[in-house]
Amino acid sequence: MALTGRWLCWCAPLLLCLATATAAVVDGQSWNTADRWLSFKTRCHKIYSSQSEDDRRHTLWEMRISDISRHNSEHADGKHHFTLADNCFADLTEEEMQLKFGFLKPPPPPPSYRRRRRGIVEDELLPLLPVMPTYRNTIPVDQLPVSVNWTSMPGWVGAVVDQGNCGSCWAVSATAALEAQYFNLTGSTITLSRQNLIDCAFSQGNYGCLGGFTHAALWYVKEKGIEAIDNYPDISDQTGWSGTCQYRESLSVLNVTGWQLIDSTEAALQQAVALVGPVAVAVHVDQSFVLYSGGVYSGYFCTSSERLNHALLLVGYGVTNDRPYWLLRNSWGESWGMNGYMMLARNADNMCGVASEGVFPVITANRATSPSSSSSPSGVQTATTTTTTTTTHHRRRHSHHSKMSTVSQNIV
């Protein structure tokens, strides 16, 4: 993707970015930018505090439109395999977009150290993250299912959520992975409280809406448990941190006995998502990722496994137009990407670092439920079962999602 100097507007003062265009060509159509700007504000419910703020946002948005148009024109010429769109992030600064991320991998700390949290410097002993087993590739990749889509199997993957301006992707991906294994264990669906983790999991090294680590979220649940969202409502997309931890152990609905760290190879990740179910992963997000609209994404600047900054749920994989991909569920609402999902290039040198921090939990349920017939002690299904049930439920799951239909047809 050819990014012009205009992308510097994400980081540089806006006064350096002068927009002079009055029209743009987007997706093959010529648009008057004034009309399209009004349409964007209406679609995304944008209300600015003053005319000067409106002008500032308009300048940002116009330059995004120019780069989106250029990229999509090159896509039409076969230079790229994914498209961009002026989604509801197209008027945000780089600093504002950072609020949409939130994956923080803590460095190994010494036994005792000083840390700053919400402006308060504390002397404390912070225990190290427990050592857990590594899940490794043990089955030849050519013996795994050619494609897997857990969203086509009712009960395994919940609805797409919007984390708002809270950097809580770590909590969203952790609870989603827990919910999948809860369904595998009990045959019942549940929605866990992300707010419970945002408010309470500080002792494990998380920072609420300022970011956290998926593994540390699982560590909290192992130590304390977690409530369902019905008992501990989620307000993080509106106000962020609720102000105090309100967790009640008596209402915990499951226990984490441990977790497995997926070996940092795409072969191990493919085996895990095929045989275990949806797993939590982390990626490095760049500007083009934010404006992703469809196709198989491969960003020039998201190749670093050392700069992971956003957590998602990996729900499957497949091949479309001879291009292998991972199917990811994001937490930026259904208006982003393909109804909240994206296809990320697979077997492409660990694109965006997707295979670097994969993890899935091992759980037991607190309340009496009937285990599903497909569960096993390790939470692993056979490749044959995965392939069969994915095919069985394909049409029912995606009949109402036109953007996902193309993905589905190439997954099963």
Q: Domain of 328?
A: 112-411
Distance CA 397, CA 325 (A): 20
**Gap between the Cα atoms of 355 and 344, Å rounded:** 12
Return the higher-pLDDT residue of 332 and 34.
332
Q: Distance of CA 154 to CAs 151, 159, 269, 374, Å? A: 7, 11, 22, 13
Taking phi over 0 as left and psi of -120 to 50 as alpha, with beta for the rest, 235 belongs to alpha
Average pLDDT along the chain: 80
Residue 97 located in a structural domain: no
Question: For residue 101, is it within any domain?
Answer: no
* Overall pTM > 0.85: no
- Mean pLDDT lowest among 25-34, 186-195, 292-301, 311-320: 25-34
CATH value at residue 64: 1.10.287
For residues 306 and 220, state if they share a domain.
yes
Rg of the chain, C-alpha, whole Å: 22
How much of the chain, in percent, has pLDDT values that exceed 90?
A: 63
**pLDDT band, residue 117 (cuts 50/70/90):** very low
Q: Are 149 and 386 in contact (CB under 8 A)?
A: no
Q: Which pLDDT band holds residue 21 (cuts at 50, 70, 90)?
A: very low
CA–CA gap between residue 369 and residue 109 (Å, rounded): 40
Residues designated as active site: 169, 310, 330
Is the pLDDT confidence value at 389 over 70?
Answer: no
Q: In this structure, is residue 99 part of a structural domain?
A: no
Determine the pLDDT at residue 380.
32
Measured distance CA(75)–CA(241) in Å, rounded: 41
Q: Put residue 110 in one of left, alpha, beta given phi > 0 → left and psi -120 to 50 → alpha.
A: beta
Residue length of the chain: 412
pLDDT above 50 (res 3)? no
Distance between CA 46 and CA 28 in Å, rounded? 25
Both 154 and 63 in one domain: the answer is: no
The answer to which of 211-225, 254-268, 298-312, 318-332 has the lowest mean pLDDT is 298-312
Query: Which amino acid would we find at residue 398?
Result: H
Residue 404 near residue 411, CB atoms below 8 Å? no
Residue type, 189: T
Residue 356 pLDDT exceeds 70: yes
Residue range 276-285, pLDDT digits in tens: 999 999 999 9
374 and 238 co-located in one domain: yes
Q: Label residue 188 by pLDDT band (50, 70, 90).
A: very high
Whether residues 175 and 54 fall in one domain: no
Return the pLDDT at 386: 33
- Residue 325's SS3 state is strand
| pLDDT computed for residue 147 by the predictor | 98
Instruction: Residue 384: give its domain's CATH number.
Output: 3.90.70.10
Q: What is the pLDDT of residues 78-114, one digit of tens each?
A: 999 999 999 999 999 888 887 778 887 765 544 444 4
Structurally, the chain folds into a number of domains equal to: 2
Return d(Cα 298, Cα 343) in angstroms, integer.
Answer: 9
Question: Same domain for 390 and 305?
Answer: yes
78 plus 199 within the same structural domain: no
- Amino acid at position 14, single letter: L
Q: Is residue 105 part of a domain?
A: no
> In the structure, what pLDDT confidence band is assigned to residue 235 with cuts at 50, 70 and 90?
confident
**147 and 59 part of one domain:** no
Band of the pLDDT at 377, cuts 50, 70, 90? Answer: very low
Helices H / strands E in the chain, number of each: 10, 14
Is 38 within the bounds of a domain? yes
Give CA–CA dist 397/366, Å, rounded: 29
Domain contains 148: yes
Distance CA 24, CA 29 (A): 8
Do 265 and 309 have their domain in common? Answer: yes
CA distance 83 to 337: 9
Say which residue, 49 or 33, is predicted with more confidence. 49
Res 20: pLDDT: 37
On whether residue 329 sits in a domain, the answer given is yes
Domain assignment present for residue 59? The answer is: yes
